[in-house]
Chains A and B, each alone.
Chain A
Amino acid sequence: MTQAAATATPATRERPTPILEARGLVKRYGQVTALDGCDFELLPNEIHAVIGDNGAGKSTLIKALSGALIPDEGQILLDGQPVRFHGPLDARRHGIETVYQDLAVAPALNIADNLFLGREVRRRGPLGSLLRMLDHGRMVAESRRHMQDLKIGIRSMNQAVETLSGGQRQGVAVARSAAFARHVVIMDEPTAALGVKETHMVLDLIRKVRDRGLPVILISHNMPNVFEVADRVHIQRLGRRVAVISPHDFSMSDAVAIMTGAMAGEEVASD
């Protein structure tokens, strides 16, 4: 992450190596072309929003980046190196974590169990290796640290997740991703299931994740949210990237106009 800290703001002309990049992605479903030569570029230290109308290929793009599907053509580069993801687990092994909109936590399990689900820590010595005993103490302590890092104020890590509010639950999911991601956190509509106050809590979390040096890809339908937190906005239309804009230089209605084709995207690409 030292590399991320050293880079200038994303708006400068001299671009650092993108953390995650896609070139000319194509994905066809029978007659339908979901991605039609789509490019994508995530720079260090930014919140990169992806917006687009329904059917623009937004979710197909995200699935390709998170390993949930394999594109027919095109290339994905992680830290400048070409990679091929054979599944979500493979992308995760490359340090890309995804937060889903539908609160992908197990409500009856406690916070520590959820944070370490699928990545449990065993005890040292024969208890762990032979009897496969889990190190509950360590997982609880580390969970507390991760939650405190993001300033999510929850006292007990032994609390069942179902006793938390929707925002706090999403906080657990964000903390899990931030704890284990090495390169990128992808957030797929992380606020779709939340109320206004909770949404702002999660937006704050997204900023904190970025400030800790992890770039974030944010997929959202909610324009005010996008314009509030994003450093750059990728606009997807008809299976391609038509513009990358800075929310400081463009209004929400401009973004919508580009999204729907009312304004030509190529003219406004911000660099």
Chain B
Amino acid sequence: MAKVTPAERAEAAPAEAAPSLLRRALALSTLGPLIALLIAVAFFTARSDRFLTGGNLSLVVQQVMVVGTLAIGQTLVILTAGIDLSNGAVMALGNVVIAKLAVDSGMNPLLAIAVGLLVCAAFGAFNGSLVTGLRLPPFIVTLGTLNIAFALTHIYSNDQTISNLPSALTFFGNTFTVGGTDITYGTVLMLVLYVVAWYVLRQTAAGRHVYAVGNNPEAARLTGIQTRRLLLGVYTTAGLIYGIAALLLIARTSVGDPQAGATDNLDSITAVVLGGTSLFGGRGSVIGTLLGALIVGIVRNGLQLLGVRSIYQVLITGILVILAVAVDQLARRRQAK
């Protein structure tokens, strides 16, 4: 060892770097979802002329916009080894609150949006305080708040769909044109949220703490991380993101709909799981979730173009989820050996 000269060491370094770069790429949790996405794109491109067009792809992104946004919050919660069953219902509540305040109460649309976001964030904080304060399992807490939010939505809206919304509420449904393709502001907002979430998780201390708390809460606590405060922050942030999803839902449907979001909780979990994030917490990435949401969107859209009945899209989504988790587990077991 002592005889290695600096020059020799410099020579050895690049040779070492190449395989480690490859190994790092292979270890990347987003690699699997990315390959799956590319296979799906290649398959549908070969089978349908209408698939790989700007208009169609823009449509796919619009279709995944709401669930994709919910899935950002879901990813944060799942990374802490939690789960959030309430997100669709919380979004529906936010959706109805915004619409009803703006239409029935004649509130300034921007103020109505602010109140809606606040209601959703408060619901997230409620989830978080039950999880950290009473130390209840997140599954049970959010199963409870799912029903509470669902009931509140129907009580508040009187089961009525709210229409004739002011145009300010549907701003994110407006489009701009790039190279002949119409793109909604909502999809841009969703992508911006993904970038922000990626940045916070990868590049800030708070993000590293989210992973640590999900991976080994006791170790995180012993290193001085305020685990309860962090969890409360994660659930509250997730709630705020559900509020933004509510706004995007309004933009997409142009109504306040108390029936909305009924299966969106499971769809958001599907996106997270397809994206390679572990349900046991501490592993995964929000970029994977975006890929997961796009996989679902592309498979549904592609099958539609091929004229496959919609129920088969659900069937295939189910198979994909099991396949994704199975591949992930096998890869992990091999890595552990």
List of A residues within 8 angstroms of B208 by Cβ: 109, 113, 117, 120, 134
Pick from A89, A106, A132: contact of B216, CB under 8 Å: A106
A104-B219 contact in complex given A118-B225, A134-B208, C-beta closer than 8 Å: yes
User: Hey, which chain B residues are within 8 Å of A156, CB to CB?
Assistant: 20
Q: How far is the CA of A122 from the CA of B205 in the complex (A)?
A: 8
Q: What residues on A are CB-neighbors of B220 within 8 Å?
A: 106, 117-118
Chain B, residues 183-225, CB within 8 Å of chain A (1/0): the string is: 0000000000000000100011110110110011011101111
B209 to chain A, nearest CB (A): 8
- Per DSSP, chain A at the interface is loop
A-B residue pairs in contact (CB < 8 Å), sample of 5:
A106-B211, A106-B282, A113-B211, A117-B208, A133-B203
Whether a CB of chain A sits under 8 angstroms from the CB of B154 is no
In the complex, A231 Cα to B61 Cα: how many Å?
67
A138 to B225, CA, bound (A): 21
Q: Specify which chain B residues have a CB less than 8 angstroms from the CB of A100 in the assembled complex.
A: 222
The 3 closest A-B pairs by CB, nearest first: A118-B223, A120-B205, A118-B224
- Taking CB atoms, residues of chain A closer than 8 Å to B336 are 162
Q: Does chain B have a CB within 8 A of A197? A: no
With A and B bound together, what is the CA distance between A107 and B199 in angstroms?
A: 22
Q: Are A105 and B216 in contact (CB under 8 A)?
A: yes
Check if B228 is an interface residue, CB within 8 A of chain A: no
- Of A106, A119, A122, which one neighbours B212 at CB under 8 angstroms? A106
Chain B positions within 8 Å of A, measured between CB atoms, are 16, 20, 24, 27, 199, 203-206, 208-209, 211-212, 215-216, 218-220, 222-225, 282-283, 335-336
Tell me the bound Cα distance from A156 to B27 in angstroms. Answer: 14
In this complex, the member of A98, A117, A119, A155 whose beta carbon has the largest number of chain B beta carbons within 10 angstroms is A117
A109 to B223, CA, bound (A): 14
A contact residues, total (Cβ < 8 Å): 28
A104 to B219, CA, bound (A): 5
* Residue from B20, B203, B218, B335 within 8 A of A104 (CB atoms): B218
Q: A98-B222, A104-B216 are known; give 15 further A-B pairs, CB within 8 A.
A: A88-B224, A100-B222, A104-B218, A104-B223, A106-B211, A106-B212, A109-B211, A109-B215, A117-B208, A117-B219, A118-B224, A120-B208, A133-B203, A156-B20, A158-B24
- Report Cα–Cα, A105/B216, bound state, in Å: 7
Interface positions, chain A 90-124, Cβ under 8 Å from B, are 92, 98, 100, 102, 104-109, 113, 117-120, 122
Please give the distance in Å from B17's CB to the nearest CB on chain A.
10
A binding-site residues for B, Cβ under 8 Å: 88-89, 92, 98, 100, 102, 104-109, 113, 117-120, 122, 131-134, 155-156, 158, 160, 162-163
Residue of A nearest to B207 (CB): A134
Assess whether A88 is in contact with B212, with CB atoms less than 8 Å apart.
Answer: no
> Which chain B residue has the least Cβ–Cβ distance from A123?
B203
B216 surroundings in chain A (CB, below 8 A): 104-107
B210: min CB distance to chain A, Å: 11
B212 touches A109 (CB 8 A): yes
B-chain residues with CB within 8 Å of residue A113 when the two chains form the complex = 208, 211-212
Complex: A131 Cα to B223 Cα, angstroms: 23
- Bound-complex Cα distance A117 to B225 (A): 8
| Complex interface: chain A residues within 8 A of B218 (CB) | 102, 104
CA distance A52 to B205 in the complex (A): 40
What is the bound-complex CA distance between A107 and B332, given in angstroms?
Answer: 13
**Contact: A89 with B212, CB < 8 Å?**
no
Are A105 and B203 in touch, CB under 8 angstroms?
Answer: no
Contact across chains for B204 and A133 when beta carbons are under 8 A apart: yes
**Whole-angstrom distance from the CB of B19 to the nearest CB of chain A?**
11
Known contacts A118-B224, A134-B208, A155-B16; decide if A108 and B215 are in contact (CB<8 Å): yes
Whether B215 and A92, one on each chain, are in contact in the complex, defined by CB atoms closer than 8 angstroms, is: no
Q: With A104-B219, A117-B212 in contact, do A134 and B224 touch (Cβ < 8 Å)?
A: no
Q: Which residues of B lie under 8 Å from residue A131 when comparing CB positions?
A: 199, 203
CB distance A134 to B211 under 8 Å?
A: no
Cβ contacts under 8 Å, A163 to chain B: 335
In the bound complex, how far is the Cα of B225 from the Cα of A92, in angstroms?
13
Contact partners of A133 in chain B: CB under 8 A: 203-204
> Do B225 and A107 have beta carbons less than 8 Å apart?
no
Residues of B near A105 (CB, < 8 A) are 216, 219
> How far in angstroms is the closest Cβ of chain B from A111?
13
- B16 nearest in chain A by CB position: A155
Q: Is the CB of A104 within 8 A of B211?
A: no
- The CA of A226 and the CA of B27, in the complex, are separated in Å by 40
> In whole angstroms, what is the CA distance A117 to B282 when docked?
14
Q: How far is the CA of A133 from the CA of B27 in the complex (A)?
A: 24
Chain A residue at smallest Cβ distance from B217? A106
Q: Which residues of B contact A120 (CB under 8 A)?
A: 205, 208
CA distance A155 to B24 in the complex (A): 14
